[in-house]
Homo-oligomer: A and B are copies of this chain.
Amino acid sequence: MIEKTQRGRCVGGKSGLRRPSRKEGTKRSYSSKPHSQKTSRKASRKTYSKTYSKATAGKVRIIPIGGVEEIGRNMTVVEYGDDIVVIDAGLQFPEEETPGIDFIIPNTKYLEAKKDKIRGLIISHGHLDHVGAIPYLIDKLGNPTIYATKLTKAIIMKRQEEFPHSPKIDVQEITSESKVKMGKNLRAKFFDITHTIPDAIGITIETPLGNVVYPGDFKIEVDAKGNPENIEPYISLGKEKNLLLLMESTNVEMPGFSMSEKTVRENLERIFKATKGRIIVGTFSSQIERIIEMLKIAESLGRKVFIDGYSMKTNIEIAKELKLFVPRKDTLVSIDKIDDYPPEKIMAICTGAQGEKNASMMRIANKKHKYIKIHPNDTIVLSSSVIPGNEKSIQNLKDNLARQGARIIHNKVEDIHATGHAYSEELKMMMKMIKPKFFVPIHGHYFMLKTNADLAESIGIPKENIIAPMANGIIIETDGNKIQPTKETVPANYVMVDGLGVGDVQEVVLRDRQMLSQDGIFVIITVIDAQSGKVRNSPDIISRGFIYLRESQDILKQTRYLIKKTVEEATGKMHPVNIDYVKTLLRERIAKFLFQKTKRRPMVLPVLIEV
């Protein structure tokens, strides 16, 4: 899961919101089920091969196009013969190295060349690192059918509205009961999974060589007795012939089990109950399950709920429409009415817990919110983690809220946030349940993938059956007996979205932005008399981000003198004037001079105009 923040990644949480069906297996609706759940692995392999006898010569290819050298822009390709299934189409938020960029998305060059073979794009859940790139690339993929659960579909459709020029997309709704034939050789089925958003789904691609299992983002909740919950689908799936498990690595470095979302719910309820004044909660808008839980607590305490922030309102609107929860008629009140209610009847739920500029919480902190002004009796609950990279903005947020006298409760002092990504023990549990032949860790940086591979080895998967760690664009091939990366790779570098441009920002543009941000720019405009080579008038100097010009008259004067001297010394012996030569000379001399004077290195750009 990625939150819609300026950058960084997020580790979300999950609550016990109901999913409609957790029925085991797939027997009833899928008549061609290849092997009995009770046969041994060896036996089942035979059955399987028979069923798909036409295609046994083929190989399964797995191509991680994004998400295996980073957190975000997840996209995985499963290919067999002439059939391609694409799983997820996420975006990644920009990094320090990509200033000014809006998003980074997967590189789909390989798929574009084979778009007639794409049988569908399956989306595991509605978070931006899984759905976010759809508007930018669906057209390039030949606008294939998108398969998604109800909520995920609604989120995709809603987002599509922001891209009016994007083509009309075809989204087919699926459930954990669905089976979808994907071309001649592949078939998709699904299983319920626990994450921080309802309707998250695991994906099983049946191939002639066995299942490719992709749980996507998940965690395993435990009940009061410490027993894992809702794991029946995994156990059931584990009885099938699972060729390969693609498993996320986000929290693989964390030992043990992650905190339960139930604990979070209980703590929030306790805090809310004990609070007398207004409650203002900041959380991720993507934490739809927790937000729904908070709504329920608010109802039980007789508080009205005021939702604020565009993405939060959108998500709640969708959840309501889909009846993921049914609030009492008068629970949700428009934020502009907040002052009509007494403090003890108010719970505001806001975006911006990461200190994102212009988000609701930040506007409250900066006293720029139209309807919420902080009172000393307010209790602010930050039910979120700190996404790496946002420390400074969150500190600002807390500081500015505290300055106004509010009481602040955050996740360092109370357990009011839990991740949505499995810790190492949960990952191991999943591996043991799925029992795959081959293991491929995905979704994480190199070191995380490596750690996940080690984890797989530790539970007994043979080293030679583990592919890890990978680079984006690697082609992993298996004939069912062996697995290895091929020598070829597919293009997988960053595709950057910057304003209207998708993929048009080059390295050089980013390097320039970084350089400009360090010591600014120094433009010299010199008019030269073409005849005499003399400098006409005083050279113009434009400088931004370098030194404060008004207080640097002395340097400017010396620079102008040096420009004139450099140009005229060069042009004096030169007919005609070699403009490029003079420019280079000028750039070097002035850069050196400015460095001597200031120990700064602005980008020096000389412009010579002959008249």
Contact = CB atoms under 8 A, between A and B. Distances in A.
Interface of A: 8, 69, 95-96, 99-100, 253-255, 386, 388-389, 391-392, 395, 398-400, 402-403, 408, 412-413, 445-447, 450, 469, 498-501, 504-506, 508-510, 512-521, 523, 525, 527, 536, 540, 542, 544-548, 551-552, 597-600, 603, 605, 607, 609, 611
A39 to B, nearest CB: 39
A317 to B, nearest CB: 27
B544 A598 contact: no
A607 B547 contact: no
Nearest to A389: B391
Nearest to A446: B399
A86 B516 CA distance: 38
B392 A96 contact: yes
27 contacts: A8-B391, A96-B392, A99-B518, A100-B545, A395-B445, A399-B446, A402-B450, A402-B469, A498-B600, A500-B597, A500-B598, A500-B600, A501-B598, A504-B547, A504-B548, A513-B519, A513-B545, A516-B521, A516-B544, A521-B521, A523-B523, A523-B542, A523-B607, A525-B609, A540-B607, A542-B605, A611-B611
A548 B400 CA distance: 40
Contact of A599 (B254, B499, B546, B597): B499
B517 A99 contact: yes
The complex is assembled from copies of this chain, and their number is: 2
A94 to B, nearest CB: 11
Contacts of A600: 100, 498-501
Contact of A546 (B399, B509, B544): B509
A600 to B, nearest CB: 4
A499 B519 CA distance: 10
Contact of A521 (B95, B469, B544, B548): B544
A384 to B, nearest CB: 15
Given A100-B520, A609-B525, A255 B598 contact: no
Candidate in A508, A521, A552, A597 with the most chain B CB atoms within 10 angstroms: A521
